[in-house]
C-alpha cells in the first residue's frame, strides 16, 4: 500500500515527532495551513491503510506511526529498482551516479559505504 503525496507530507511530520495531537500536526505545516478537516481526512485514510493509529486521551487523539520511515523508504527504493531498472541494483547505481550532480567527495563517500558493506559480507 502506498501513501499519496499529501499523506506522505503528513507522515513526514508524524515521523519527526513520533507521536502528535492534531494541533501539533497543524503547527508543523507551513502557511497557509490546511483546514483541520483536511488533516483529519488524511489521518483517517492513513489509519485505514495501516500507516497510523492513535490513542484516546478524553476526546483528543494522539496519533503515532505504525510504519517506520526507514521501512517505507526501503520499500519505495526497492520498488523503483524493480520497476524502472529491471530489478538490477547495478543499473540503478549506474543511473544514480551518472545522472545526478554528485560531487567527487560524495561519490567517494558512496564508495566507502559500499566497500564497508562488501567487507561485512
CATH number at residue 41: 1.10.10.10
pLDDT of residue 60: 94
Residue given cell 502528535 in the structure block: 20
pLDDT of residue 89: 84
Res. 87: pLDDT tops 90:
no
Q: Which residue has the higher pLDDT, 22 or 107?
A: 22
114 and 80 part of one domain: yes
Domain that holds residue 43: 5-65
Rounded Cα distance, 91 and 58, in Å: 53
Q: What is the mean pLDDT of residues 68-73?
A: 92
Q: What is the mean pLDDT of residues 81-86?
A: 87
Cα-based distances in Å from 69 to 28, 44, 74, 75: 17, 19, 8, 10
Res. 31: pLDDT tops 80:
yes
Amino acid at each position: 500500500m502506498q501513501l499519496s503525496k499529501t499523506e506522505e507530507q503528513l507522515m513526514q511530520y508524524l515521523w519527526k515527532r513520533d507521536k502528535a495531537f492534531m494541533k501539533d500536526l497543524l503547527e508543523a505545516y507551513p502557511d497557509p495551513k490546511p483546514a483541520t478537516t483536511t488533516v483529519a481526512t488524511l489521518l483517517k485514510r492513513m489509519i485505514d491503510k495501516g500507516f497510523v493509529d492513535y490513542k484516546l486521551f478524553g476526546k483528543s487523539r494522539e496519533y503515532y506511526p505504525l510504519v517506520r520511515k526507514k521501512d517505507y523508504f526501503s520499500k519505495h527504493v526497492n520498488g523503483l529498482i524493480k520497476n524502472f531498472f529491471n530489478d538490477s541494483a547495478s543499473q540503478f547505481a549506474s543511473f544514480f551516479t551518472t545522472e545526478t550532480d554528485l560531487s567527487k567527495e560524495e561519490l567517494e563517500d558512496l564508495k566507502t559505504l559500499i566497500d564497508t558493506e562488501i567487507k561485512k559480507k
